[in-house]
Structure 1
Amino acid sequence: MKDSESLKHDLFEKKYSELTPEDIEYCKTLDSLDMKCINLEGLLDKIPFSSNLSYLTLMDNHLTYLSEKIGNLVNLTHLKIIDNMLTFVPRQIGNLKRLNVLHIENSGLVSLPDEVRKLQNLHELSLINNQIVSIPPAVFYLRNLNVLHLANNKIAHIPKGVRDLNCCKVFDFSKNQITELPSQVSELKELTHLWLGDNCFSFFPETIYNLQQLSTLGLEGNQISHISKKIAHLQNLTDFRLDDNRFMLIPREIGQLKKLYHLDISRNRISKIPDEICGLGDLQYFRMNNNEIKSLPKDIGKLKKLHSLNISGNQINSLPKDIGKLKKLHSLDISGNQINSLPRSFSQLQNLEYLKIDSHNIRDYIENHFQDRDIFSEKYDARQIIVKVTVRYGDRCVDLPTMFGKDFILETLELT
């Protein structure tokens, strides 16, 4: 008799008709089964699943319908149906009272049967990338739901019934057609992650300011132009995505979000970064590219934990000398600006591994600084330089350690 791993391999590689009677009999003993990339259309009913089956994944199986017999698998705790062609699921799914996780993704699903409300042990529901126009009413009866993913559907409205999901910690409504949030969202005191990117918001939803446990907020890809001073209420925010909107101004109160470690304000119309942003001592990832920014705050060196900084596509003509204090900076993109010189403090960025800069700018820098010296003369111990990067222009080449100091350890240089 085959062991479970061998049988799972057969189920993965073969068609059902190629399995031996021994294989089929052994199916009855499995409590976990992944059936990926097998054409199960018309065959699923014939597989004798174990009554103890608790984990079942049906992925890319060409399924156009799910058998009513799914309701017999009463010990299922995890059911994932992904990359199929299901427009509906049978009402017998309501028999799966032990279900904790239900994923029906990328399958053309239009709605859920009302019997889903019986799944009172359901903690995670993912209906990503389907054809859902309105949130199935049964969802609002799932009082123990912690995670709800509805991204990439056709939802335009969130009903007031959302208030009943008061155990929910994660909402993902990104890539829909939503224009506003109901005030009842403010009653979700456990909510920590809210994804609303790529919708149709033209105003910052006021109800969000009351979600004081929120740690992640995604509002990228909307048409928002203003944030009020009340943003300071979100003291637990760590990840804030505002890219690809219509902001011209970022309020100085954003500097009060002391736990922020990821901030993205790229692809807006911002002309000035408030000095208060330099008070975000935990900030590690900062994207402000593709705006109309003319200068960086002179105290940018106070962002001691900054790991990645992207200021590309702006109107900046120089970098503040304080940039050399960003000792933990690993990635820096300054391309698409008007920068034609680098401050001496640049050589202090000892952990910088990736630098993107305009080729014409660095060429001018090289020509201005090395026209009267032998650029091939200096030799370095390989142990001092992790990766030696050479910039070549015709018959001239310059090693970056020569340019910025012999301890400079840049690994990747991208010239635009």
Structure 2
Amino acid sequence: MKATSKIIQLFFVLICTFTSAQSDTLKIVPDFTTIEEALKNPLQVKRLNLSNQNLTFEPNFFQKFENLEYLSLKNDHLKELPKEIGNLKNLKILDISGNDFESIPTEFKNLLHLEELYLNDEVNLNLEKSISTLKQLPALKILHLSNDKLDQLPKGFEDLKNLEMLYLDDNNFKFLPKQIKGLDHLQYLDLRKNPIQPTSTELQNINFGFKIRL
């Protein structure tokens, strides 16, 4: 049993190291932080950070950025997400936290290389309505749902089969969501700042096979 535990811990460390290496690689590439700057040479833009801006996007704006790997529209007060984002075939990381939209466009299912999605601080998000799109993202490994006023996960969440890291911190969970048990590849679950009891019988007696942070 101890040997199995050590193997699981080692595997988790390797996953974190690999993820960190990927993130470090992307950080070497400079961020473009204004639309005007990015449009000068759109094919050279791999990281586009338009956070904390009140923006409106012209039709087909995002189609110009064929090589985009990282996009942040954090805190941009977007009531609707541009459907054209679904055309970003090389996108790996998308941060759309802190906006006002209610659902994720079905066109986002075409983000075949999306590995990490930030949906933090989305109090208007209808996660149940969006799950049909999320579960069609074949490369999605890391999902952030921090501070979304969640007290349960919607039916079908267990279909996010490739998830390895899930952030549910700063929500309203009183019990461990039952859908978690269906996430076969999960390695890390963040449940900090939830009214869940870390000494509950369920957490003590079930061998989940992944790390839970409370």
TM-score, with length taken from structure 2: 0.71
Separation in 2 of the partners of 1:173 and 1:83? 20
The within-5 A match list for 1:28-177 is 28-40=43-55, 42-43=56-57, 45=59, 47-48=61-62, 49-108=64-123, 109-111=125-127, 112-155=130-173, 158-175=176-193
Contact preservation (8 Å) 1:44, 1:67: no
Mark the runs of 5 or more structure 1 residues left unpaired by the alignment: 176-197, 219-416
Cα deviation digits, residues 263-305 of structure 1 (max 9, x gap): xxxxxxxxxxxxxxxxxxxxxxxxxxxxxxxxxxxxxxxxxxx
Helix, strand or coil at the partner of 2:107: helix
Cα deviation digits, residues 311-339 of structure 1 (max 9, x gap): xxxxxxxxxxxxxxxxxxxxxxxxxxxxx
Residues 1:205 and 2:197 are matched in the alignment:
no
Amino acid at match of 1:57: S
- How many residues end up aligned between the 2 structures? 182
The alpha-carbon distance between structure 1 residues 201 and 119, as it changes in their structure 2 partners (threshold 3 A), is: same
Separation in 2 of the partners of 1:59 and 1:139? 24
Amino acid at match of 1:163: K
Helix, strand or coil at the partner of 1:119: coil
Separation in 1 of the partners of 2:39 and 2:206? 55
The alpha-carbon distance between structure 1 residues 133 and 92, as it changes in their structure 2 partners (threshold 3 A), is: farther
Cα deviation digits, residues 161-204 of structure 1 (max 9, x gap): 322212111112334xxxxxxxxxxxxxxxxxxxxxx4154962
The alpha-carbon distance between structure 1 residues 44 and 147, as it changes in their structure 2 partners (threshold 3 A), is: farther
Which range moves more in the overlay, 156-165 or 108-117? 156-165
Contact preservation (8 Å) 2:118, 2:145: yes
Amino acid at match of 2:181: R
Cα deviation digits, residues 20-74 of structure 1 (max 9, x gap): 8xx524224312211122211x326463441221111112222121021121112
The alpha-carbon distance between structure 1 residues 43 and 217, as it changes in their structure 2 partners (threshold 3 A), is: closer
The alpha-carbon distance between structure 1 residues 134 and 92, as it changes in their structure 2 partners (threshold 3 A), is: farther
Amino acid at match of 1:135: L
Which range moves more in the overlay, 79-88 or 123-132? 79-88
Q: Residue in 1 aligned with 2:8?
A: none
Cα deviation digits, residues 89-135 of structure 1 (max 9, x gap): 21222111211111111132231241211112111001111143431
Q: Residue in 1 aligned with 2:32?
A: 8
Mark the runs of 5 or more structure 2 residues left unpaired by the alignment: 1-28
The alpha-carbon distance between structure 1 residues 138 and 55, as it changes in their structure 2 partners (threshold 3 A), is: farther
- Shift in Å at residue 215 of structure 1? 6.0
Helix, strand or coil at the partner of 2:184: coil
Separation in 2 of the partners of 1:202 and 1:172? 12
TM-score, with length taken from structure 1: 0.39
Amino acid at match of 1:199: P
- Shift in Å at residue 148 of structure 1? 0.7
Amino acid at match of 1:114: S
Contact preservation (8 Å) 2:71, 2:94: yes
Contact preservation (8 Å) 1:54, 1:78: yes
The alpha-carbon distance between structure 1 residues 86 and 92, as it changes in their structure 2 partners (threshold 3 A), is: same
The percent identity for this pair of structures is 24
Amino acid at match of 1:209: N
Contact preservation (8 Å) 2:61, 2:84: no
Q: Relative contact order (C-alpha < 8 Å, sep 6+): which is higher?
A: 2
Amino acid at match of 1:127: L
Amino acid at match of 2:148: N
Contact preservation (8 Å) 2:167, 2:190: yes
Separation in 2 of the partners of 1:213 and 1:162? 11
Contact preservation (8 Å) 1:110, 1:131: no
Contact preservation (8 Å) 2:189, 2:210: no
Helix, strand or coil at the partner of 1:59: coil
Considering fraction of residues, name the structure with more strand.
1
Q: Residue in 1 aligned with 2:24?
A: none
- Shift in Å at residue 210 of structure 1? 3.7
